Amino acid sequence: MLQPCATMRSVLDLLRANDIPMGMVSNGLGKGYGQDVLDAFDLRKYFATCVFREDVRQGKPSAEPILRALDTIGRPLRSSDVIWYVGDQRKDITSALAAARQTSQAILPIAVGARAALASAENHIPARQVMWSAADLVDAVALAFPVEEPLALLAMGPARPA
Answer CATH for 18-151 from 3.40.50.1240, 3.40.50.1820, 3.60.20.10, 3.40.50.1000:
3.40.50.1000
- pLDDT for 14 equals 87
pLDDT at residue 148 greater than cutoff 60:
no
The torsion angles phi and psi of 80, rounded to 5 degrees, stand at -85, -10
What residues does each domain of the chain span? 18-151
The answer, yes or no, to whether residue 31 has pLDDT greater than 60, is yes
Give the span between the Cα atoms of 151 and 6, in whole angstroms. Answer: 14
Mode of pairing for the β-strands spanning 130-131 and 23-25: unpaired
Summarised one tens digit per residue, pLDDT across range 8-22 is 888 898 889 888 899
Asked if pLDDT for residue 149 goes beyond 60, the answer is no
pLDDT in tens, 54-95: 999 999 999 999 999 999 998 888 888 889 999 999 999 999
Q: Which residue has the higher pLDDT, 44 or 146?
A: 44
Q: Which residue has better confidence, 124 or 161?
A: 124
